[in-house]
Amino acid sequence: MEVWCVAGYHEFSCIGSACTASCCKGWRVYIDDPAILRFQTEPGLLGIRLRLAMWHGGRLLPLLPESILEQLYGEEGDATDYINRNSGRCPFLNHKGLCSLQLKKGADFLPSICRRYPRQIRRMGERSELLLDLTCIHAADLFLKRAVQGDPRAVVQLLPVTEEAQLTSDEKLLITAPEGEMAGDDPVYLSALLSSRDQWLSRVAAAETPQELDLVMGQLIRYAAQVQQRLATGGRMDEVSWPSVGDSGSRSGAACFPFSIMTYHALMQTEIWQPMLQRTSPLLYEYIERYYAYFTDLTEIEAQRLLTDLVTRLYTIRPQIHAELRALLLYSILQAFPAAYGDYSLHTHLLTALLEVDLILLFAALNADTAGRVDLPQIISVCLRRIRHNEAVRHQCLAVLYEHL
């Protein structure tokens, strides 16, 4: 088993109550089976609170008959259970912004997802990659600080993990999980994926202007569509020819980075915006309301001109924005290729990566002040939460991109 970790992985440490965007708010917290057992058997008032907070299929677990609970949590059970069903504030987050469960019982008592976040594992056969989820605002902040220092490829550098002591018990468990629980086993495809990823990362890293990024991302999206189509018909990834540096971008010729105003308009008509965001994600609600305040009642030509002016202004007043956005594209590409190992949907995963960074660019342009100051880690966290971790919203947005790009 090969284990690699992205640069900065082991340097991350939760900042607890100092965090300005707690991961204990705005999420459904999924509970693994060992945690369910701990919660079901915890005595006293804490046990009662835990069992009242646990939901399965929209029903309180304590109200389910014991026979049903046994079926749910037997060896063959496949239940999906969570705390914080309304994606508000976790009931165990105390007034100081700390986890009362961890304070009382220790980190080992928490659900696995709480112990690991924002650490992620991408499993590809006998290869595992350890990454950080930039929905964590502190992880995003540390990432951006690395993004503006030196070699653009440094943010996606993968380092070998050679000692078992460098891994937590949760990481060891996921890395050694039975193959059926993770990605499949296709060494030929894996080799082609890794080789292709390395070359595309180099191309994106070499893009020195927004125009070059738009061109290379269009080439990448077109290449990924051809790969996905070839794989779907029984072909191999290495049968798809590489676009030359001078080739045009996306298949339709539409702008990829940033999107055209009509693409953004279509995205805003999906469930990316909902009235409930006022409660579950007030910052995203504010970002989208600002979008409408800027572009409502404008003609397509007027709106496109305004979008171009806003993006140009952002690049002028915040010189590091190109390095920051390029780094985000690099990091998203780094993750998209392993995701495609499990389902062969490279085009879908790369479109998702492009969607995320395009929205980050849009909201940064809308929110930057005259000195170029903008809370980019916050925008990254908010956008990735809404797209990457909401399947229904992601699918609707992808349908828009399939039509427009």
pLDDT, tens only, 112-156:
889 999 999 988 888 999 999 999 999 999 999 999 988 899 999
- The pLDDT confidence band at residue 260, using thresholds 50, 70 and 90, is very high
170: pLDDT strictly greater than 90? no
244: pLDDT strictly greater than 80? no
pLDDT confidence of residue 249: 58
- The pLDDT confidence band at residue 360, using thresholds 50, 70 and 90, is very high
Spans of all domains in the chain: 24-116, 119-404
356: pLDDT strictly greater than 50? yes
Select from 107, 102, 61, 105 the least CA-distant residue to 81: 61
Q: Which of 21-25, 98-102, 176-180, 400-404 has the lowest mean pLDDT?
A: 176-180
What tens digit of pLDDT does each residue of 39-69 get?
Answer: 888 999 998 888 888 765 444 455 445 555 4
96: pLDDT strictly greater than 60? yes
Average pLDDT over residues 217-241: 92
pLDDT confidence of residue 78: 40
